[in-house]
Amino acid sequence: MFGRQAYCQKATLEVRRCILKWNFSNDHSIAPQIVEMIQTGILAGFYPLGSALPSVRALAVEAGVNPNTMQKALAELEAQGLLYTQRTSGRTVTTDERLIMELKERRAHDYIRHYFEGMQSLGIARDRAAEMLAASASASTSADTSASDTKATTTTTNTTEVN
Amino acid sequence: MGTILQAQGLTKRFGQTTALDNVELSLESGRIVGLLGPNGSGKTTFIKIASGLLTPTAGQVLIDGVAPGPQTKAQVSYLPDRTYFDNWMKVSDCLELFADFYQDFDRVKANDMLHSLGIDASKTFKTLSKGTQEKVQLALVMSRQAKLYLLDEPIGGVDPAARDFILDTIIRNYNEEGTVVISTHLISDIEKVLDDVIFLWDGRIERTDSVDHIREQSGKSVDEVFREVFKC
């Protein structure tokens, strides 16, 4: 269920835009923010498993950051096992799907924690927050279904044109 | 990495005015350094001394261990705060001038950069807009394989889109073993590309630190910290 194909398909335009924007918040160091962005990029399939990453300088230019900062972030991702260096072809994304799954889980829990923290700051209790989330999820699922139906139709049309 | 620039007790007076007051500073190779300070804090004076255009009243500055002179000028690529090309010169004349003056000038690189800027080399300087003039100069300065780049207000006179282009050009083209010093008061635009910052205030060094450290320690951007330090 976690094949490379599936990854690529999951890189929705929305995520691509998020990744490519490289918007940094001002109250943290930049390197950890880059780490998180590239993690998201890997999880979303923007940087597919086993693919080569652009060079440090190319990435630095793209993100508009200092090459040393980019280097630091990539070293951290290497330490996490998400990237590895190949002598001939630069840095490559790991092919270890279990590692990716773990990361995905960890990042998902971060989002969940943020959600409950945010709701708590509004004075909404945990169980109520959970109810609201479930209600919102079921509401958006039905909306999503119709949206993806439209998308599927468009894709089919495109394929036909290509053929 | 070694030290590329060292200032010891560096002082410069213009008559009664003290522009630099006993500055102690050491810059390492391979860094991008922001020289930050309000107007009149001594940024340009410092850069002019380091590039050998002014001589200090007291103290000294050493570039790679040598006092500014012909030897250091061959290793230092300097972007002045105003243009020194004459109005009648064509962009291609400026290119010739650089190729003639500097052994480390990479003409192919300069041509590529001018091409990507969409600048016609046969145009004369006076027909170019201020922003384009600045871009031409930066392209020439960044086309040198220098050990030290001294850029005095490279983003001062240009619009935000051109600023991005200029920062992009700097990141893309600086020599990795070289150090880039960028003086500016437009901090928020450039702090992402800096390793270190130097805060100058009234000719003295108020603080030197790495951008990462400032952000970690204060939970604020360098721009915000700067506004606090230099609050009027």
- Are B219 and A57 a contacting pair at CB < 8 A? no
Distance from CA of B190 to the nearest CA of A (A): 9
pLDDT in tens, A46-91: 889 988 898 898 899 888 898 999 999 999 999 999 999 877 778 9
Q: How far apart are the first and last CA of chain A?
A: 28
* Inter-residue contact A49 to A7 (CB < 8 Å): yes
ipTM: 0.72
- Are A69 and B212 a contacting pair at CB < 8 A? yes
Q: Which of A27, A31, A64 lies closest to B212 in CB terms?
A: A31
Look up the CATH number of domain A6-93.
1.10.10.10
- CA dist., res. B165 & res. B171, Å (int): 10
10-residue block means of pLDDT along chain B (232 residues)?
90 94 93 91 94 94 92 92 86 93 93 87 89 88 93 84 83 84 88 92 91 88 86 72
- Are A28 and B219 a contacting pair at CB < 8 A? yes
Q: Beta strand B76-79 with B58-63: parallel, antiparallel or unpaired?
A: unpaired
Hey, what's the torsion of the CAs at B184, B190, B194, B199, to 10 degrees?
40
Q: Which of A27, A29, A63 lies closest to B212 in CB terms?
A: A29
- CA dist., res. B149 & res. B165, Å (int): 17
Q: Which amino acid is at A105?
A: E
Name the residue ranges covered by the structural domains of chain A: 6-93, 97-162
